[in-house]
Structure 1
Amino acid sequence: MLRPLSEGVFVREVPFRTGGMELGGRMTVIRLPDGGLWIHSPVRMDAETRAAVDALGPVRFLVAPNVMHHVHLGDWAAAYPAARVVAPAGLRAKRPDLRIDGELTETPDPGYAAVFTQQRMQGMPRLDEFLFLHRPSRTLLVTDLAFHIRESSSWLTRTYLKLNRTYGKLAPTVLLKSLVKDKAALRTSLEGVLGWDFERVVVCHGEVLERGGREALRDGFAWLQA
Structure 2
Amino acid sequence: MTSKLIPSDPESVMVIRDIAPNVTTLSVPFLRFGRIKIGGRATIVKLQSGSLAIFSPVALTPTVQSKLSSITPSPPTTYLIAPDMEHHIFLSSWATHYPRNHIIAPAGLKEKRLEQSKTDPSITPLDFKTEFTKENKYSLKITPEFDAEFSYEFVDAHPNKELVFVHHPSRTLIEADLIFNLPAVEQYSRVPDTDAASGWATKLFGGLQNTRGDAVWQKRMLWYAFGAKDRVGFGESMRRIGGWGFENLVPCHGETVLGTGKETFRKVAGWYLDEKK
Same-fold status (TM-score > 0.5):
yes
Structure 2 counterpart of 1:129:
162
**Larger deviation: 48-57 or 104-113?**
104-113
Partner of residue 217, structure 1: 265
Matches within 5 A, 1:160-171: 160-162=205-207, 164=208, 166=210, 168=212, 171=218
Q: SS of the residue aligned with 1:43? A: coil
Match of 2:28 among 3, 10, 14: 14
Report if the CA contact (8 A) 1:108-1:118 is conserved.
no
Counterpart CA distance in 2 for 1:165 and 1:206 is 9
Q: Percentage identity across aligned positions? A: 30
Q: CA deviation at 1:86?
A: 1.3
Q: 2-side partners of 1:193 and 1:175: how far apart?
A: 15
Question: Does the Cα contact within 8 Å between 1:166 and 1:172 map onto a contact in 2?
Answer: no
Shift of 1:153: 3.4
C-alpha contact (below 8 Å) 2:219/2:270 kept by paired residues: no
Instruction: Extract structure 1 runs of 4+ deviating beyond 3 A.
Output: 104-108, 150-153, 167-177
TM-score between the two structures when normalised by the length of structure 1: 0.89
User: Residues 34, 103 of structure 1: CA spacing in aligned structure 2 closer, same or farther, 3 A cutoff?
Assistant: same
Aligned length: 224
Q: 1:176 to 1:64 in 2, by over 3 A?
A: farther
Which residue among 104, 116, 137 is the counterpart of 1:86?
104
Deviation at 1:123, TM superposition (A): 1.5
1:1-226 alignment, distance < 5 Å = 2-19=16-33, 20-57=35-72, 58=75, 60-96=78-114, 97-104=125-132, 105-106=137-138, 107-110=140-143, 111-124=145-158, 126-150=159-183, 152-156=196-200, 157-162=202-207, 164=208, 166=210, 168=212, 171=218, 174=221, 178-180=225-227, 181-224=229-272, 225-226=276-277
Q: Which has the larger radius of gyration?
A: 2
Gaps of 5+ in 2: 1-14, 115-124, 186-195
Contact 1:161–1:173 (CA under 8 A) maintained in structure 2: no
Instruction: Output the TM-score relative to the length of structure 2.
Output: 0.74
Q: Which amino acid in the other structure matches residue 90 of structure 1?
A: G
Q: 1:29-64 CA distances to partner (integer Å, 9 max, x unpaired)?
A: 001011121111100222221222122112521111
Structural RMSD (CA): 2.2
Unaligned runs of 5+ in 1: none
Do the aligned partners of 1:148 and 1:206 also contact (CA within 8 Å) in 2? Answer: yes
